[in-house]
Amino acid sequence: MHDLFGDSVAYFEKIYESATKAARFYGFERIETPVLEDTRVFTRGVGASTDIVEKEMYNLKTKGGNSLSLRPEGTAPVMRAYVEHDMYTRPQPVKFFYFGPFFRHERPQSGRYRQFWQFGMETIGKGGPAVDAQIVSAIYGMLSDLGVKNIVVEVNSMGDSKCRGLYKGVLKKYLKKASLCADCKKRVTKNPLRVLDCKQCVEIKKEAPQIVDYICKECREDFKKTLECLDEAGVPYDLNPFIVRGLDYYTGMVYEFFAGEKEPLALGGGGRYDGLCELFGGGDVPATGAALGVERVVLAMQKAGVKIEEKNPQVLLAHLGDLAEKKSLRLLEQFRKANLPVYNCIGKESLKGQLSRANKLSVPWTLIIGREEAIEDNVVIRDMRDGSQEKVEMKDAVKEVKKRLKG
Ligand code: AMP
């Protein structure tokens, strides 16, 4: 679990800004579910035999004996909220986005944390190719706007529960004969699709049967239409028959986002999950969604050489002595009310240090409250470019600064 400060915060804020802007543009409203949920939200919603639930979830028992879990992903909680708040009574579909921390007890490595942040989008209540494509297109556009280079969207179809059953049988048969790692040997019976995600058992994919050959005519037609929608939205994609996502709830099209040419970085993924609402007792409700790993997007932006420009204020407020520092507080309030950003030096002692800060930030104007000015309720406005300065009354400071900034 990591602390967020300094540079990483600047990237986070930039991503948050772009994500919120994109989500709202496409008509998604914000939802933030609690970080702790009843464990059953995930055992039921994500699937008890998935790695996330079986191995990676942080579970705790309350004094009252309830089993709670730190949320490892966002889709199941959003669906829980949809059902809990009877959201099928609203005009459909309902479209949500979220941006928050998630928790998985994974082996730490570069770009993999035990607390990480995700931005997610979910459309619930109405489905179809265009609905799926809209989320892919929104995320693709947002990543492009953030300056991420070489974005690759890999797509596949998981069919529906019926055609996937057929494929699972065929895959199981094939895997039983293949040489697998110890984990995958267990997965073959419980969750054979998960073997296709294994980083160790890559060789078996060469000959493995592909799900697209087993999905039914309707699912194939639906997949084709979704790809046409992606074409229409201008999203390039690659077909990858082995994108199966680790979670049980997907049906129909699934996809993952990658960035970078060499050693592509997995940024996120999603797909359709028409069966999930039923698992929460909410009936047959179509749904689709995706999530991006925020730390990964930061890495991708840094890899692409994206720099975050800090907007420095045009004005710095310096003081000399305790009384002047106290008067700074009053002056700062005047600037806040006028919505004029000022870099403040509250807590800093030497005037020399404060002025050298002004030079570092290249602010064109510095306000200085010296000992005399503090007593007289005046302030000096100094033009940092030529060193010229003028004393004005403190009450006129905002007006005087505005005049100079305009000039
Ligand atoms: P998933 O919910 O597993 O499909 O993950 C979606 C995205 O979240 C991944 O592609 C990563 O970008 C990010 N992600 C998942 N797990 C982690 C983690 N442990 N640390 C950092 N990012 C993660």
Q: Residues 8-31: pLDDT tens digits?
A: 999 999 999 999 999 999 999 999
**Per-residue pLDDT tens over the stretch 362-380:** 999 999 999 999 999 999 9
pLDDT at 85: 97
pLDDT at 20: 97
Average pLDDT score over residue span 170-192: 88
Atom of ligand 1 nearest to the CA of 113: 20
pLDDT at 407: 76
pLDDT at 246: 66
The domain over range 315-406 is classified in CATH as 3.40.50.800 = yes
Under the banding of pLDDT at 50, 70 and 90, the label for residue 199 is confident
Q: Give CA–CA dist 387/364, Å, rounded.
A: 10
The sheet carrying 251-259 orders its strands as: 29-30, 94-103, 115-124, 287-293, 265-272, 251-259, 151-157, 238-239
In this predicted structure, which of 30-44, 141-155, 237-251 has the lowest mean pLDDT?
237-251
pTM for the full predicted model: 0.91
Handedness of CA 143, 147, 148, 153 (dihedral sign): positive
Under the banding of pLDDT at 50, 70 and 90, the label for residue 205 is confident
Tell me what percent of the residues of the chain surpass a pLDDT of 70.
99
Average pLDDT score over residue span 270-295: 94
pLDDT at 289: 97
Contact 267 CB / ligand 1 (< 6 Å): yes
Q: Highest mean pLDDT: which of 197-201, 202-206, 297-301?
A: 297-301
Under the banding of pLDDT at 50, 70 and 90, the label for residue 248 is low
Chain CA centroid to CA 211, Å: 30
In the CATH hierarchy, which fold is given to the domain comprising 7-160+215-303? BirA Bifunctional Protein; domain 2 (3.30.930)
Contact 120 CB / ligand 1 (< 6 Å): no
Query: Of 296, 298, 299, which is best to mutate to test ligand 1, by the most ligand atoms within 8 angstroms of its C-beta?
Result: 296
pLDDT at 128: 95
Q: Minimal CA–CA distance to 246: which of 183, 169, 297?
A: 183
Average pLDDT score over residue span 272-298: 94
Atom of ligand 1 nearest to the CA of 52: 3
Domain limits of the chain? 7-160+215-303, 315-406
| Average pLDDT of the residues of the chain | 94
Query: Of 8, 107, 112, 121, which is best to mutate to test ligand 1, by the most ligand atoms within 8 angstroms of its C-beta?
Result: 112
Under the banding of pLDDT at 50, 70 and 90, the label for residue 51 is confident
Take atom 13 of ligand 1 and give the residue whose Cα is closest. Answer: 293
Residue 67 has pLDDT above 80, yes or no: yes
Separation of first and last alpha carbons in the chain? 49
pLDDT at 50: 81
pLDDT at 34: 98
Domains 7-160+215-303 and 315-406 share a fold: no
Take atom 9 of ligand 1 and give the residue whose Cα is closest. Answer: 268
47 or 290, higher pLDDT: 290
Query: Of 116, 154, 193, 199, which is best to mutate to test ligand 1, by the most ligand atoms within 8 angstroms of its C-beta?
Result: 116
Contact 74 CB / ligand 1 (< 6 Å): no
